[in-house]
Amino acid sequence: MIFGIGIDIIEVARIRKAYKKLGKRFLDGIYTEREQSFCLGRANFAEGLAARWAAKEAFLKALGTGHSRGVRWRDVEIIDNERSRPTIKVYGKPAAFLGNRKVHLSISHLEDMATAIVIIEED
């Protein structure tokens, strides 16, 4: 049974602009160290950051909390090792809200846009 569905799309230029303006402060407010390392080592780093932004937004929509109720950006981590599909790891409040539900994630990005969809399934 489906608990929730979330989708998000973002312009890569928006993320690139925030990074250029705020640098490490922007990264540390949104992304975990593992996410930063994964994305910043690539020529198209802004696409990866935007895809993770979209995935976090889609997850919080599917969870039904948004950015309220004590949920922080860094409580949601997108794990991707290029050998498997991306997955979501949650900490803190989102982990408590998620419980034992199963999360399905799909992300995609182009030069200009990034998108993600999340489906949360009841156990």
Write down the catalytic residue from 20, 67, 102, 109: 109
Q: Which of 21, 24, 56, 61 is catalytic?
A: 61
Q: Is 109 a catalytic residue?
A: yes
Is 21 in the active site?
Answer: no
Strand partners, 78: 88
Residue 103's Cβ-side half-sphere holds a number of Cα atoms within 13 Å equal to 30
DSSP, residue by residue, 26-93: HHHHH--HHHHHHHHTSTTHHHHHHHHHHHHHHHHHHHT-TT-TT--GGGEEEE--SSS--EEEE-HH
Residues annotated catalytic, as ranges: 61, 109
